[in-house]
Amino acid sequence: MSSIPVSHDSPTSKPTSAGKHGKVLAGKIVGIDPGHNGLNHTDPAFLTQQVFNGRTMEDCDTTGTQTASGYTEAQFNFTVATDLRAILRREGAKVVMTRNNNDGLGPCVDRRAKILDDAHANVSIDIHADGGPASGRGFTVLEPLPAGLNDKVIGASDEFGSFVHEAFLADTPFGVSDYYGHDGYISRDDLAGLNLTTMPKVLIECGNMPNAQDAALLTSPTVQRQIARALNAAIVRFLTGHWPPGTS
């Protein structure tokens, strides 16, 4: 994919713009997995069914977390995903999502991975917010470790993850996590979405919902759109070698 060493603020970094041949992401397929679903909490037996995550068996999914005031992670994930989808479509991408509403159940995490694999997405993002200790703040990029199916996309996923990390710092109010991972990164070998991917993919924990300051940001429509724009910037850079116009 992009191996062009373009710095975010380099004077040689020309913004990508729609040329005479069309939009910047024309012909590209982008996968988005908004974690959990709005009715997951209604069916514990569905959630505890066992699925293969590429290494071992695990639960189909969880309910996800929520803020102290009850704003759910599932709603946050879906709102950011739909904001991101709108931007990507304007840029000419075909967008595949693992769920198309927030009032359903599932699909299970293995099925989510397969939906994006079967779509032959060029790159995918799993969108989440964390349920960490209430004192903790910040975002974390979760990157895959080799598990077989994903062996060929580890390096590209790490590169994409670095673009997500850079865009989050530049274009959102969030800093790197002060309670999880290291400098805003962690490698995980126990997640179906990362173990079972055949395209470059990372999972982003955008912030920590139980933390009051992060919660105020995560529930803000303005900040949600900033997050979507940051994710879009990382995707455009990964697929084209350039940051999109308008990113800082």
Give the footprint of Zn ion on this chain (CB under 5 A). Answer: 35, 64, 128
Q: Minimum distance between the CB of residue 239 and Zn ion, rounded to whole angstroms?
A: 25
Give me the residue whose beta carbon is nearest to Zn ion.
128
Q: Minimum distance between the CB of residue 210 and Zn ion, rounded to whole angstroms?
A: 13
C-beta of 35 vs 107, nearer to Zn ion: 35
- Please answer whether residues 17 and 92 qualify as being in contact, where contact means their C-beta atoms are separated by less than 8 angstroms: no
Minimal CA–CA distance to 51: which of 195, 188, 200? Answer: 195
Number of neighbours of residue 114 by Cβ within 10 angstroms: 17
C-beta of 91 vs 130, nearer to Zn ion: 130
DSSP secondary-structure letter at 139?
Answer: B
Q: Minimum distance between the CB of residue 128 and Zn ion, rounded to whole angstroms?
A: 4
Identify the bridge partners of residue 208 per DSSP, sorted by sequence position.
130
User: What Å distances lie between residue 15 and 10, 18, 132, 234, 247, CA to CA?
Assistant: 11, 10, 37, 13, 9
Q: Among 73, 91, 143, 205, which one carries the catalytic annotation? A: 205
Q: Is 159 among the residues known to form the active site?
A: no
Query: What is the distance, to the nearest Å, from the Cα of residue 182 to the centroid of all Cα atoms in its chain?
Result: 18
C-beta of 16 vs 98, nearer to Zn ion: 98
C-beta of 93 vs 164, nearer to Zn ion: 164
- Please answer whether residues 76 and 83 qualify as being in contact, where contact means their C-beta atoms are separated by less than 8 angstroms: no
Residue 95's identity, in one-letter code, is V
Q: Minimum distance between the CB of residue 34 and Zn ion, rounded to whole angstroms?
A: 9
Alpha helices (H) in 37-177, listed in sequence order: 44-48, 73-90, 109-118, 154-171
Q: Minimum distance between the CB of residue 142 and Zn ion, rounded to whole angstroms?
A: 10
C-beta of 16 vs 37, nearer to Zn ion: 37
Measured distance CA(188)–CA(217) in Å, rounded: 26
Which residues does the annotation mark as catalytic? Answer: 205
